């Protein structure tokens, strides 16, 4: 029986053990990298036998998925707060992305150990079907940030803006993960600068000068995001 489907006995102790294994695994992944880390090290660090780790997590990858889910659950209320408190698109975007850095901060090296994978067929990739729920929930935050802020954009572009912003965020996080500058100053500069450029661009997007871009941009977005 999986510990998830227990009804009575040991439910509490079970959850504790599971949490202990998860924490231990994250420590080991951080120190040695995901690939280099072994389940033997993880179970030793957690103070359980090898089989114990496999009792709670069906595979090494499953531990990472559990981390993703836990991280997202922790972030949800924080992101909600950003959306209700922020009034402008700038404040909301800055807040949403900044909170990602804050929450992921202690695990930056851990993400580095994982996020070499851009391959959508790899289950741990942020673009995989296994992570679709997490991804869509995150995109929904950008959706709300955009909707509440009455951004003016052509009708053939606007629907794609939340997904574009999510991808912008993913790019920033990827850069941040590999950013070796002290306190990740370079990411800070990249974030500040590109966000300002982004907002400037949205501001002037309606001007006649940029009219020729509209159709091209819309076609590109359609080709990239639309199924079939």
Interaction site with DNA (CB under 7 A):
1, 3, 5-7, 9-11, 13-14, 17, 37-40, 47-52, 54-56, 58-61
Of the ranges 2-10, 47-55, 102-110, 115-123, which one interacts with its own copies (CB under 8 A)? 115-123
Ramachandran region of residue 47, left (φ > 0), alpha (ψ -120 to 50) or beta? left
Using the 8-state DSSP alphabet, how is residue 123 labeled? T
Residues with Cβ within 8 Å of 34's Cβ and at least 6 positions away in sequence, in order, are 60, 64, 113, 114
Query: Could you tell me the CA-to-CA distances from 160 to 88, 98, 139, 154, 215 in Å, in that order?
Result: 19, 22, 11, 11, 14
Residue of the chain from 50, 120, 129, 147 that contacts its own copies (CB under 8 A) = 120
Should residue 209 be labelled a site residue for its own copies when binding is judged by CB under 8 A? Answer: yes
Contact predicate 130/137, CB 8 Å:
no
Of the ranges 60-68, 99-107, 137-145, 174-182, which one interacts with its own copies (CB under 8 A)? 174-182
Ramachandran region of residue 49, left (φ > 0), alpha (ψ -120 to 50) or beta? beta
Q: For the CB of residue 106, give the shortest distance to DNA in the complex, in Å.
A: 23
Of the ranges 22-30, 97-105, 130-138, 170-178, which one interacts with its own copies (CB under 8 A)? 170-178
Residue of the chain from 88, 140, 189, 206 that contacts its own copies (CB under 8 A) = 189
Q: List the structure tokens of 169.
A: 């965020």
Total Cβ atoms within 10 A of residue 121: 9
Q: For the CB of residue 76, give the shortest distance to DNA in the complex, in Å.
A: 27
Q: For the CB of residue 171, give the shortest distance to its own copies in the complex, in Å.
A: 9
Contact predicate 65/130, CB 8 Å:
yes
Q: Please give the residue ranges that form the binding site for its own copies (CB under 8 A).
A: 112, 115-122, 125, 127, 174-175, 178, 185-186, 189-190, 193-194, 196-197, 200, 204, 207, 209, 212-213, 216-217, 219-220, 223-224
């Amino acid at each position: 029986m999986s510990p998830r489907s227990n009804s009575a006995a040991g439910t509490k102790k079970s959850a504790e053990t599971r949490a202990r294994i998860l924490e231990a695994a994250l420590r080991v992944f951080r120190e040695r990298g995901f690939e280099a880390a072994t389940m033997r090290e993880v179970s030793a660090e957690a103070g359980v036998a090898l089989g114990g780790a496999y009792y709670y997590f069906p595979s090494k990858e499953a531990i990472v998925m559990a981390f993703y889910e836990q991280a997202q659950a922790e972030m949800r209320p924080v992101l909600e707060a950003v959306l209700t408190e922020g009034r402008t698109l700038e404040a909301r975007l800055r807040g949403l992305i900044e909170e990602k850095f804050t929450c992921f901060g202690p695990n930056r090296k851990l993400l580095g150990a994982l996020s070499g994978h851009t391959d959508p067929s790899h289950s741990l990739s942020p673009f995989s079907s296994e992570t679709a729920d997490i991804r869509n929930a995150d995109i929904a935050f950008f959706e709300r940030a955009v909707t509440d802020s009455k951004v003016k954009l052509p009708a053939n572009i606007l629907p794609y803006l939340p997904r574009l912003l999510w991808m912008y965020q993913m790019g920033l996080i990827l850069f941040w993960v590999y950013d070796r500058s002290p306190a990740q100053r370079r990411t800070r500069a990249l974030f500040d600068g590109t966000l300002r450029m982004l907002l400037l661009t949205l501001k002037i997007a309606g001007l006649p000068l940029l009219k020729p871009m509209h159709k091209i941009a819309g076609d590109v977005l359609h080709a990239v995001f639309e199924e079939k």
